[in-house]
């Protein structure tokens, strides 16, 4: 007799089943019930630039997309022109020597992280990740069968991780420590001496330090964020991640970068060739022009973000009950009033009843039930001024 039983569900891998669902669509779904009573919706869930790309960059993106040469495969490591431009930019920012050979170009910084973890860590090992963490980092580790070892960061420390506490958590299976500065989700900026202490710890333990500096172009002042690149031995165990998405307002074009030494790059190229073959070529060509040509424009955008951060502080100065526990780059990390429900319930209610979309702290790891993250970068100062009324 024919088998008429219903087909079984696909046997999904345990690592995929253990990976959290995408956070931002979940938070935005709460706003489906909003009926506009408080005014137009305000979406502060995603870290996106709240201004358009430079018009000359848009023109070049179009022109490069129309070039036949850019329709073909490119170099695994990325276009030489962009790697050289970024090397020069890094030299100016950090006061150290860089070459194009130190850099590989990736299809966005999220994929840069995935590929770095694939090359450096692998299934069955572990990574030390400060908490609260960027949820896509933890998702990527879980998806690859890599254990996440949380390093709790405290509000009273400004959410800056403690190297001493980290040392106690690094066991035999930990193959890398990840730092994100300026931080997503908190906005905390790690002092250079803290970054140096983590680098020394990783050298002693013979593990990699992966430093995600996606938001480095929004740091105040022109001093180097740290001095790690001044050490000639940095290429032995330091990996820097960078994103063009925020600095040049092109997140949809998916271009990121990994800075690493030759031994690490040799392994990375296997991963790059397998997972992406090459990053988008038209965007790379346009960005190779933009990195030097739009330096002043990029600095102007840093000032725009600083003004929005200041506007956020002013707006919240007179709001009773709420507290800004950390603020920087694109983000404010808010502590809920004592009489408010926990973060998930509060975020759901704000979205459904007041049209304010935020991300609750538990999306960023354990122990965050009393915090909300607000990404103010995509809101102008007038919109920021309206946020406290939605929270009041």
User: Can you give the pLDDT at residue 28?
Assistant: 94
25 or 3, which is more confident: 25
Q: How confident is the model at residue 3 (pLDDT cuts 50, 70, 90)?
A: low
User: Three-state SS for 241?
Assistant: strand
Based on the structure, what is the number of domains in the chain?
Answer: 2
User: Can you give the pLDDT at residue 203?
Assistant: 97
pLDDT in tens, 186-211: 999 999 999 999 999 999 999 999 99
**How big is the chain by its Cα radius of gyration, in Å?**
22
The answer to whether position 4 is within a domain reads no
pLDDT in tens, 95-118: 999 999 999 999 999 999 999 999
Residues 244 and 331 in one domain: no
Q: Which residues contact 377 (CB under 8 A, 6 or more apart)?
A: 47, 48, 49, 50, 246, 305, 308, 329, 330, 331
Q: How confident is the model at residue 236 (pLDDT cuts 50, 70, 90)?
A: very high
What DSSP state is assigned to residue 162?
A: P
User: Can you give the pLDDT at residue 2?
Assistant: 58
Residues 346 and 198 in one domain: no
What is the pTM (predicted TM-score) of this model? 0.94
Q: How confident is the model at residue 4 (pLDDT cuts 50, 70, 90)?
A: low
SS3 sequence of 329-363? CCEEEEECCCCCCCHHHHHHHHHHHHCEECEEHHH
Q: Is the pLDDT of residue 8 over 90?
A: no
The answer to whether position 337 is within a domain reads yes
The answer to whether position 2 is within a domain reads no
Number of neighbours of residue 263 by Cβ within 10 angstroms: 11
User: Can you give the pLDDT at residue 205?
Assistant: 97
Q: What is the mean pLDDT of residues 343-364?
A: 97
The answer to whether position 36 is within a domain reads yes
The answer to whether position 10 is within a domain reads no
Query: E strands of 93-142, at which residues?
Result: 103-106, 126-131
Residues 46 and 134 in one domain: no
The answer to whether position 230 is within a domain reads yes
Residues 359 and 384 in one domain: yes
Task: Give yes or no for a contact between 242 and 257, defined as CB atoms under 8 angstroms apart.
Answer: yes
User: Can you give the pLDDT at residue 385?
Assistant: 95
Q: At what angle do helices 295-316 and 381-391 cross, to 10 degrees?
A: 30
Positive or negative torsion for Cα 242, 247, 252, 253: negative
Residues 236 and 162 in one domain: yes
Q: Is the pLDDT of residue 50 over 90?
A: no
The answer to whether position 9 is within a domain reads no
User: Can you give the pLDDT at residue 133?
Assistant: 97
User: Can you give the pLDDT at residue 392?
Assistant: 79
User: At which of 261, 293, 325 does a domain end?
Assistant: 293
Residues 272 and 316 in one domain: no
Cis peptide before 182 (omega within 30 of 0): yes
Residues 353 and 268 in one domain: no
User: At which of 265, 293, 321 does a domain end?
Assistant: 293
Residues 76 and 209 in one domain: yes
- CATH code, 132: 3.40.640.10
N-to-C CA span, the chain: 67
User: Can you give the pLDDT at residue 11?
Assistant: 86
Total number of residues shown for the chain: 392
Q: Which residues contact 98 (CB under 8 A, 6 or more apart)?
A: 87, 88, 90, 91, 229, 259
Q: What range defines the domain where residue 164 resides? A: 55-293
Q: Which two tokens stand for residue 158?
A: 């400004």
Q: How confident is the model at residue 82 (pLDDT cuts 50, 70, 90)?
A: very high
Residues 169 and 259 in one domain: yes
Left if phi > 0, otherwise alpha if psi is -120 to 50, otherwise beta: which for 169?
alpha
Q: What is the mean pLDDT of residues 50-75?
A: 96
Residues 232 and 332 in one domain: no
User: At which of 269, 293, 317 does a domain end?
Assistant: 293
Residues 118 and 220 in one domain: yes
- CATH code, 387: 3.90.1150.10
The answer to whether position 124 is within a domain reads yes
Residues 41 and 146 in one domain: no
Q: What is the mean pLDDT of residues 294-311?
A: 96
Q: What is the mean pLDDT of residues 162-177?
A: 97
Per the prediction, the chain carries an average pLDDT of 95
């Amino acid at each position: 007799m024919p088998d008429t039983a219903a087909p079984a569900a696909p046997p999904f891998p345990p690592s995929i089943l253990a990976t959290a669902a995408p956070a931002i669509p979940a938070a935005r779904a709460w706003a489906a019930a909003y009926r506009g009573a408080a005014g137009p919706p305000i979406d502060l869930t995603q870290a996106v630039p709240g201004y358009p790309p430079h018009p000359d960059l848009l023109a070049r993106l179009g022109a490069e997309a129309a070039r036949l040469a850019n329709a073909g495969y490119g170099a695994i490591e990325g276009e030489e022109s962009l790697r050289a431009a970024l090397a020069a930019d890094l030299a100016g920012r950090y006061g150290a020597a860089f070459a194009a050979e130190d850099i590989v170009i990736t299809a966005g910084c999220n994929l840069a992280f995935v590929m770095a973890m694939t090359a450096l860590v692998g299934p069955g090992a572990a990574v030390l990740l400060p908490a609260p963490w960027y949820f896509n980092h933890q998702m990527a580790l879980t998806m690859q069968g890599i254990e996440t070892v949380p390093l709790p960061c405290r509000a009273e420390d400004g959410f800056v991780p403690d190297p001493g506490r980290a040392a106690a958590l690094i066991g035999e299976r930990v193959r890398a420590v990840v730092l994100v500065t300026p931080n997503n989700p908190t906005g905390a900026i790690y002092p250079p001496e803290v970054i140096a202490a983590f680098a020394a710890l990783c050298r002693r333990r013979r593990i990699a330090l992966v430093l995600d500096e996606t938001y480095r172009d929004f740091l105040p002042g022109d001093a180097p964020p740290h001095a790690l690149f001044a050490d000639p031995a940095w290429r032995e165990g330091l990996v820097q991640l960078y994103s063009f998405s925020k600095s040049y307002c092109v997140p949809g074009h998916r271009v990121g970068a990994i800075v690493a030494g030759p031994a690490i790059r040799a392994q990375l190229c296997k991963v790059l060739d397998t997972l992406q073959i090459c990053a988008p070529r038209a965007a790379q060509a346009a960005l190779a022009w933009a990195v030097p040509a739009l330096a002043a424009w990029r600095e102007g955008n840093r000032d725009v973000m600083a003004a929005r951060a200041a506007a956020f502080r002013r707006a919240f100065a007179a709001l009773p009950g709420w507290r800004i526990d950390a603020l920087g780059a694109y983000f404010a990390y808010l502590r809920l009033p004592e009489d408010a429900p926990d973060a998930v319930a509060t975020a759901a209610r704000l979205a459904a009843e007041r049209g304010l979309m935020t991300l609750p702290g538990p999306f960023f790891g354990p122990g965050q039930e009393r915090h909300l993250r607000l990404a103010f970068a995509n809101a102008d100062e007038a919109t920021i001024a309206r946020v406290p009324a939605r929270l009041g």
